[in-house]
Amino acid sequence: MKKSILASTPFLILNKSLLVTFGIDANVVLSHLYQQQNYFKEQKTWNTSLRYKRWCRNNARFDKGNKTTEPKFPDYYDIHFAKRLEQDQTALTSYYKHLQGLGYEKKVNSYDGKIKWIKR
């Protein structure tokens, strides 16, 4: 007697009830998957060294604009972002300089000492 493909696949054994619920024959699904797997194994066009060179070339092309060492600050005043930077004073002062460069003006509330940034 021929052994079922389903018996050799633990994933589909667990999900057999799901396949039966949707009316899908598990053996048909598995035979299709095995055919695809064999097709990709037999392909003669796969060359790892050529693909690696292409991936490196594409990586260099996509990373051209990302070589700045300056941290990325939002172009608006974000109080939650400023609170995250409170521990690092140099990053906080550079964020404030960034905001001033964008045209924001610092206003300090005399009552409670909170800082507001208003666009000029």
Q: Say what the pLDDT of residue 22 is.
A: 60
Name the pLDDT band for 1 (thresholds 50, 70, 90): very low
Q: Say what the pLDDT of residue 12 is.
A: 47
Q: Are 31 and 24 in contact (CB under 8 A)?
A: no
Q: Which of 52, 110, 101 is nearest to 75 (CA)?
A: 101
Name the pLDDT band for 40 (thresholds 50, 70, 90): low
Q: Is the pTM of the predicted complex or chain greater than 0.85?
A: no
What are the tens digits of pLDDT across the range 41-89? 676 677 788 888 888 888 877 776 656 666 788 888 888 998 888 888 9
CA 11 to each of CA 1, 18, 19, 86: distance values in angstroms, whole numbers, following the listed order: 23, 11, 11, 50
Neighbours of 8 (CB within 10 A): 10
